[in-house]
Amino acid sequence: MTAPARILVVFGTRPEAIKLFPVVHALKADPRFECVVGVSAQHRQMLDQVLTIAGIVPDHDLDVMQPDQTLDALTANLLIGLGKVMDAVKPDRVIVQGDTATAMSGALAAYYRKIPVDHVEAGLRSWNIYHPWPEEVNRKIIGAMASLHFAPTTTSQAALLKENVDPARVHVTGNTVIDALHWVTDEIARKPALAGGLAELEARFAGRRIIGVTSHRRENFGDGMEGIARAVRDIATRPDVAVIFPVHLNPNVRQVMNGALGGLDNVALIEPLDYPHFARLLSIAEIMLTDSGGVQEEAPALGKPVLVMRETTERPEGVEAGTAKLVGTDAARIVTELSTLLDDKRAYEAMARAHNPFGDGQTSRRIVELLAHEIGQ
């Protein structure tokens, strides 16, 4: 009997954990594979929340998070630490996801050891190396080394082919975030207490139209954050609206938002949410206002329009499908676009009913089968 292939799955941030836990579950359930989990803890607290909910205990934990750590110091620590993990584990293949420093460093450490790297959520491109920064370059670096490219959509597939990636190595799988959202929604249905922490806010804002807000992008620090804060403050003057805003831990976000929005009656500035509570926010919100990448994929799965507070997006599929709209960080424009969705039922329904291009909840199964085919099983 052939020994199972040893797969090292590497991640370190909350979004990576959300998008990779369905892959870990699928690998662990398949006797053709031995799944080893290595985390960098690039986001310690937010990562641990997802690990707990998903029932995953890492086999290796680098715990690299340090206050005000520079990107070069973080990358150096990741590259050395993940290299040591690979030397200990001796995996047959390494899986990374997306475009974080952890993913890029994990791919590079594997490449240095001639271990094949498989890239989940491959092919996202904004074609601007500073938007999003540094993610656009991170994912291009991974793409140059990857063995298998699991592209979420035909658009991401086309981006890879444009960069002369071998078409035989590119597979359109959908996005694992939809698998994760389906899984956690089912868990909440079985155990409502998992997302019960928003009950007080739901009661407080009963009868109001909830706008969910997330913001954390580095390129929005400074003037961008100020514009976002002004827009939220302006829209919150409407008596029919309430805003729920889980505020990112980064002081570049917190200081601006607390200063501009603290104390407003119908704005709830709350701590970052664990995954079940975030899924609950998506379900109760009428509109999502975000500069996040993942929300552009998740909210449409629940029929919620997304206004993207960025100038470019590496997820143009959502914009093309009509589930998302780029609005930048100009306060007046954000308010105008929000008001249109709140006041024009046809405009709202056009976005809410648009087809979600990001997946059907079967992506992890497809990835495991592609890996099995690659190793000849």
Nearest to 14 by CA among 37, 54, 43, 38: 43
DSSP-based three-state secondary structure for 270: strand
State the Cα–Cα distance between residues 280 and 17, nearest whole angstrom: 18
State the Cα–Cα distance between residues 238 and 71, nearest whole angstrom: 40
Catalytic residues: 99, 121, 135, 216, 218, 248
What sign has the CA pseudo-torsion 212, 233, 247, 79? positive
Is residue 67 reached through a cis peptide bond, with omega within 30 degrees of 0 on the bond before it? no
Query: Torsion angle, CA of 319/103/14/229, rounded to 10 degrees?
Result: -50
Nearest to 242 by CA among 297, 277, 305, 289: 289
State the Cα–Cα distance between residues 235 and 245, nearest whole angstrom: 13
Tokens of 61: 């934990």
Tokens of 261: 């929005």
Burial 179-197 (b: 16+ CB within 10 A, else e): bbbbbbbebbeeeeebbee
Q: Are 250 and 263 in contact (CB under 8 A)?
A: no
> Which runs of consecutive H residues, i.e. helices, occur in the chain?
14-28, 44-54, 71-89, 101-112, 135-145, 154-162, 176-190, 199-204, 223-235, 251-261, 275-284, 294-301, 316-321, 331-343, 345-352, 363-374
Element (H, E) at 171: strand 170-172
**Count, residues in the chain:** 377
Instruction: Name residue 7's beta-bridge partners.
Output: 35, 93
State the Cα–Cα distance between residues 153 and 162, nearest whole angstrom: 14
